Every structure is written in structure tokens, then in C-alpha cells.
Amino acid sequence: MLLKNTTILVATPNDVTRALFGRILDEEGFDVVLAEDGPSALAAVPRDAPDIVLLDALDGLEVCRRLKADASTRRIPVILITGTSELEDRIEGVEAGADDFLSTPLQLPVERFTRLPAAAAANLRGARRTPR
């Protein structure tokens, strides 16, 4: 089930990955915001109020930590994009506060971001941000 007006921030320094995720998510009906690095992602969160944040696992751990440490953003689901299935990497992501992982390469069309609507719904059930 797709939630209307769900905004997803995709932050990765990899131009190809960023463009691919942006295109696929847009085709799935999500509103997409793209960021090329951690500082850009952190700047986009208060400006664009994403419902979900997708971060590159290699570069996004500190962004994840900061989002989860801030009372106004800690309820935003953070999903790490990872090319590895190594347990140690996933533990590090969980310790940083990640809510889930999305492995690459994507197994399309089977893995068409099926968990994103659930993550957005969970976000909307809680008081995820303070009013502006």
C-alpha cells in the first residue's frame, strides 16, 4: 500500500545509485529528495521533512546517528543502502540507529521497496517531529 505524499530522502555520494533510486522511487509514486552527501542530507531533513531517509551505509552512519540523537528527527525511519550482507556491517548500522537495510543490487521487480510504505506508516503513527 503506497501512502500518498510520502517523501523519501535518498542520500548517497554515488551518482548512479542516487539517480537509480530516485527514478525508481519516483516511478513508484513517492516524492523524492536527493542529496549527495551527509551535510546535504542533514540540511534537507528540516527543509523537506522526509517521511523516510535512505542512506548509503558506507557514508551514512554518522548522519543516522545525528538523526536518531535529535528529538525532532529520531522517529524518521532510516534505511541503510548496503552492498554487503556482512553481519558486522549490519550490527554497526543498528548501533547507529538504522531501522532497516536495503541490499543492492536490487532484486527487481520482486524487491520494489515493499517495506517503505510500512516504514512511512510507522512514522506517521508516532509524533515524529515537533511542529514548525
pLDDT digits (tens, 9 = 90+) for 29-77: 889 999 999 999 999 999 999 999 999 988 899 999 999 999 999 999 9
Q: Structure pTM?
A: 0.79
Q: Is the pLDDT of residue 132 over 80?
A: no
Give the CA distances from residue 79 to residues 60, 82, 83, 84, 131, in Å, rounded to whole numbers and listed in that order. Answer: 10, 9, 13, 14, 24
**Overall average pLDDT of the 7-27 stretch:** 91
Strands across the sheet containing 31-35: 31-35, 7-11, 52-56, 78-82, 100-103
Q: What was the pLDDT predicted at 3? A: 62
Residue the block writes with cell 558506507: 58
- What was the pLDDT predicted at 97? 92
